[in-house]
Amino acid sequence: MKTLDIMGGEVRDIVLDPADEAEAEATVAVMGGEDWEFWIDALRQADVLAQGFQTVAFSYLGSDLTARIYREGTLGRAKADVDRAARAIGERLGDLDGRAHVGVLKAIVSQASTAIPVVPLYMSLLFRVMREQGSHESCIEHIDRLFREGLYGDTMPRDEVGRLRADARELAESVQAEVARRWEVVDSANIAELSDIAEFREEFLRIFGFGFPGVDYDADVDPMDGT
């Protein structure tokens, strides 16, 4: 598969070995739904859940371009466990008329999304295409829509297992067709023309407090100075 070095702008091929079973189980333990169940059970035991309580786990599935590394890999095993946990939690909340949801979100810039091979290239192309087609959202806009249309509305689509599909705009046929077309021709020479790599890089740096205008990052800082 192709991947992208966000900071260097290099598009290159990458080959990954499959995870072994121990690595897959560890991924499920860290990213699956068990901790979600622990939290809801603790709140239930403390008797602090209101009638009609709702809980939602944020998830991501991605497109066919990232399926082999994401949906069909160890991450996919963890996502399936989140689905399992949603069903289990929902059953336990029956007497409260409570509900447990899985919200499948669009791709966002995060520390994880830059570290997973293949994903940075896909996302850089995706953001450019969605901006050109007028469907791109910021993180805040996206989650606001999840709550308005999904959790507290009835206009957000659900899939066959009941997940709220806030990623429908990302997976729109027109978006994915254009991303796939660019995927076939993108390289290090034309990455800036075909993608939003500069914006991706800026958002990534801001996560860690860098890339803000008006800040002299080369200036000496006294950590003991509280002014």
**Domain presence at residue 223:** no
**Domain presence at residue 220:** no
**Domain presence at residue 222:** no
**Domain presence at residue 158:** yes
Side by side, the strands of the sheet bearing 164-165 are 54-59, 99-104, 164-165
**Domain presence at residue 84:** yes
Q: Are strands 164-165 and 99-104 parallel, antiparallel or unpaired?
A: parallel
pLDDT tens string 90-143:
999 999 999 999 999 999 998 888 888 899 999 999 999 999 999 999 999 999
**What is the C-alpha to C-alpha distance for residues 180 and 200, in angstroms, rounded to an integer?**
19
Left if phi > 0, otherwise alpha if psi is -120 to 50, otherwise beta: which for 156?
Answer: beta
**Domain presence at residue 218:** no
**What is the C-alpha to C-alpha distance for residues 103 and 143, in angstroms, rounded to an integer?**
10
Relative orientation angle of helices 21-31 and 74-92, to the nearest 10 degrees: 40
**Domain presence at residue 213:** no
- CATH code: domain of residue 198: 3.40.50.720
Instruction: Exactly one of 60, 70, 152, 217 is catalytic; name it.
Output: 70
**Domain presence at residue 103:** yes
Structurally, the chain folds into a number of domains equal to 1
**What is the C-alpha to C-alpha distance for residues 212 and 206, in angstroms, rounded to an integer?**
7
Q: What is the pLDDT of residue 91?
A: 94
Contacts 24+ apart (CB under 8 A), 41-49: 41/92, 44/92, 49/93, 49/96, 49/98
Are the beta carbons of 130 and 170 closer than 8 angstroms? yes
Query: Which residues in the chain land under pLDDT 70?
Result: 226-227
Q: What is the pLDDT of residue 142?
A: 95
Q: What is the pLDDT of residue 28?
A: 95
Q: Please state, in angstroms and as integers, the Cα–Cα distance from residue 31 to each residue in 46, 57, 59, 66, following that order.
A: 25, 11, 10, 18
Q: What is the pLDDT of residue 227?
A: 57
Q: What is the pLDDT of residue 187?
A: 96
- Could you tell me the residue range of the domain that residue 89 belongs to? 2-207
- Concerning whether 217 is annotated as a catalytic residue, the answer is no
Instruction: Specify the pTM.
Output: 0.88
- Find tokens 């689509």 and name the residue: 157
